[in-house]
Structure 1
Amino acid sequence: MEIDSLKKTFFISPTFGSITFQQVFEKIIEFVKEEPTKNYSLIVGSDSFPGEETVFVTAIIIHRKGSGGRYFYRKIKYEKMNNLKLRIFTEASLSLEIAEALKKKLSENGVSRLPVEIHIDVGKNGATRILVKEVIKMIVGSGYIAVTKPDSFGATKVADRHTN
């Protein structure tokens, strides 16, 4: 997804309500500037819920290590998807799209020092264990840090909270 198409996309913030991708980016920069000497992680994670339609939620989290953070999310509905592999790869693709747009905005604004992690909803146990290597290769091959269960809270806690 290009930044131009993200201009029409709204994210929800528990703190700021409905905001644009540009505003999300500005809020991230403001948050970092509040305490610039702290360490930060910029996390993107997606999760899905298959119901009548399949709901995908992608979360952007700015984590100030040891001092909390802020998050923003967007919801997209697709037709019902029963195939687990397709859902997991769609989640990873949605996260990569947002991560790419963030990385581009960061480099344009001279803030490229923020590392971008992609949290994926796969782990060594459960139904997704057969997909772990493939999904990690997809994320790492795209130039990002891949974080899996049980550490992938961006997908398994934050995005998951908003799938219903």
Structure 2
Amino acid sequence: MRKLQALNYSFENLQEKNLTFEQVFDRIVWFIKRNPKGNYRLMFGTDSQVHATFTRFVTGIVIQQEGKGAWACIRKVSIPRQITNLHEKISFETSLTEEIVSMFTEKRKDQLINIVLPHIYKGASFTIEGHIDIGSQNQNKTKLYVREMTSRIESMGIEPKIKPESYVASAYANRYTK
């Protein structure tokens, strides 16, 4: 079986291109180590846009220190066809988020938690969230899939967030799908 980190993933942000997953993980460690007493949220989310000959999917990874800024990057994947079936599109978005979350093995998650852990009693915190570009409001066509997609994210041991709280998918990743 191939190791996930051996796959050829490429991440980017406005400052850097062609980041490996290891480099992304190192940036997250660096960000938390700057102030291990902070309140951190590690968030993942994917959005997509159907274009004329392909569908672009963008997965965002964001480490945020609440009230003190964030570091973020994206991964782009293009499928060479228009994916117009809403369930297929939402399901694939969730799969891409799950794929990136799975790269954060228990060992890696423990490494991040252990930076903050000595400061928990002084108010530090660390949470992991999966942002899904769906909503439960009546006007939202994706409301049919809320339970299915949130269950998938929960099964990975992270907290699911839907609209309007799923801004890594619905705002950050969305910006790069155009």
TM-score by length of structure 2 reads: 0.85
- Pick the aligned partner of 1:92 from 88, 91, 94: 94
Unaligned runs of 5+ in 2: 115-125
Which residue does 2:55 correspond to in 1? 54
Q: Does 1:146 align with 2:160?
A: yes
Letter in 1 for 2:132: I
Compute the RMSD of aligned alpha carbons: 1.6
Corresponding position: 1:122 with 2:124: no
Query: Aligned partners of 1:104, 1:49: CA distance in 2, in Å?
Result: 32
Q: Using the TM superposition, give the Cα deviation of residue 104 of structure 1 relative to its aligned residue in structure 2, in angstroms.
A: 4.3
Q: Check if 1:68 corresponds to 2:44.
A: no
Percentage of matched positions with identical amino acids = 32
C-alpha contact 1:103 1:112 (8 A) present in aligned 2: no
Per residue, is there more strand in 1 or in 2?
A: 1
> Which residue identity lines up with residue 6 of structure 2 in the other structure?
D
Gaps (5+ residues) in structure 1?
A: none
3-state SS in 2 of match to 1:143: coil
Q: Which amino acid aligns with 1:15?
A: Q
Contact 1:120 1:147 in 2 (8 A): yes
Cα distance in 2 between the residues matched to 1:137 and 1:123: 14
TM-score relative to the length of structure 1 = 0.91
Q: How many residues align?
A: 161
Which of these residues, 135, 149, 170, is aligned with residue 156 of structure 1?
A: 170
Which amino acid in 1 is paired with 2:66?
K
CA contact (8 A) 1:57 1:163 kept: yes
Which structure has the larger Rg?
2
